Structure 1
């Protein structure tokens, strides 16, 4: 029987506690160009304006509330992200749910930028990194930005081939809409 570590509304599965990163280019979502040999994703969406929207969106991102509200099952070893936080994202539904272990490699809790980036660990169906940032411009516009690079590792993601980037972009758009809704309600 697997013991789950309780962290408030989340529970982290300790089977993933000692997994290693399955890619070498850590923190590469912070810089451009993104590493060669991967599929790239960059999506920037306006989610509103003002300090209240920025703070609500930043909290929703850094506590995984936005991910959960978008339909993902998220289990983390900490409530709010910090470097080193281990996360298992459940992708799919019911018996078709795939566990995707990750580790937070970078956080931002700045006056104009809040968010995090996590990298994939062994056992993840992809290899790479994804960044989720809420950005407040000088004109008070609030943006949600997703930046990622990844490539298939598991047989089923290799088989899905060109569909995986389409699904990733679709999920980034869903996450943006969810975040806009959560921030507006705050």
Structure 2
């Protein structure tokens, strides 16, 4: 699970991004330094930016991307239903700037805020719900990502197929 130090840094990063977003939405971007404009434009255009190296519950280390999620969301064990026709939740991911490893297609996402998609992102939740050995690792729906578009991949996140020999 994410450490309290990582969580504190994440909270500070979330506060900074929220402040920048509010300033930008209010049309006050001229008051920001030029470097802030450039960084914000790149992040909005790509949706996600470089994140930390992370190690999953199986001991595999990945480079990640940081993506803003606009809502808290369940972390799913898989991108589809199990043999009993149910979804299993491994954890819960709080809203904010959260890292993800990759994206893949699966079942239709739950409709969050009216969004539709079949893209899922591999990550680790902030809290564990079930399957404690997985340490809250699993999949979140793209409909939880702030800059994702309906029925489209999340810009700036690699496809899971780009990891030869391993598809989470």
Q: TM-score, normalised by structure 2?
A: 0.28
TM-score, with length taken from structure 1: 0.27
Structure with more strand by fraction? 1
